[in-house]
Structure 1
């Protein structure tokens, strides 16, 4: 694949020459000259340059569509060639903390049992970083929590999940079935870090109800579900986590109880994110296991 097409795609997606040069680790003049050379070879103007950035022309949009298909095929072929060279098949996964700890162990166990020769590389991070890794081709598939769609990525909904307020069994609210949204402002909070899917869903639910996270007393921002559970169990603060922790075989929960928040919709979807439609056979087989697990949980 012509390297200039990668430069073209990056500029088209970011819409700014400076941002594209940083992403590509090239100088702005180098990016500009490669775009100009591509335009000369194509015999067409690909971008309209303006003070607000670079926008695709009609010819540019035609090339963009074809280049995306070429990029997807190139990435798939590169992965297949590397797997053949190494003599093994490999699946690279990036997953959010909640999905990695609560939803992936069972389907990954079945996948491993069926194809024991396949190596599984799993990175656990927040949903925004997962999206970046899929976009950059660092992984074959990402698993995220209720995150907005990025244009060039393929999203597939798998599980439906519900967030819930959790408090220590020693907390005054432990014997309450529910609380109101205004009650939340009087609590000490332990939330997930910025970029977390769980945090984003909670923030948006508050915004829809006319409130904001800035109105809460946030004491801690933690990236680990288990550390949040430990802090809440010791009555340091309250938090919002997946209701799936209760009854989950994958994690031991003690010292905390769920409390419903009246008027706050905390339903979300957990999704697989792929770089495109062209995926390896092993990734498709992995997706089959994830879909199967989602159906089982839905019936439970």
Structure 2
């Protein structure tokens, strides 16, 4: 009788385990899924690993890597806060589900950040095939050596590293058959414009001066606004800019002006206070 019960239990397990896996419920003895903290601690998660992370965990991941760099390599490092801003926007608006086009693009960006940190910190020399990895590593090394104190030098270095990582993310999405929706593409275009501003600060300043004063007549100091908007150490410009890009893409004639106003209100304290960035 005991032998028969043992066989029945064994048969039940053989039937139950595949069923649990098919339902997305692995057995309790399976290895736990890696979270943002674990990926930041090991610095060895691939883009596919990062694609599986919920956006809240990606925020944990980005912040933890910055803390790691700030602790030993570049005191006070917070130069991926703008990445936090766009992830917050995605999370609040239902973008970036694992396996989606936006998720893969974002995973490519985060993989480049991770590999760059791992290489610069001497933890690995593997770039995981991400062209942004070595650019991020070089950016961190130059920041560590004090070579990027001037914004005209710093911003192109940052923008080039993220551009390469982002383009890798796009290729990754395409390889997995993920397709961008019209809104996805327009939000991506906003991010592409943001990186262009970083990579071409002097040209961007001339263009912004013409747009703000020569065309629409807004009495904003273009240099100060550009400096704030492209400050990679704060999250509000990308967070608010993401909302504006989304509302213009939908389009939403009610929310778009509100988002534009919130972007300007986020900038307003800069008009009254001292210059924010001090590298």
TM-score interval, normalised by the smaller of the two chains: under 0.3
Higher fraction of helix = 2
- TM-score scaled by structure 1? 0.20
- TM-score scaled by structure 2? 0.21
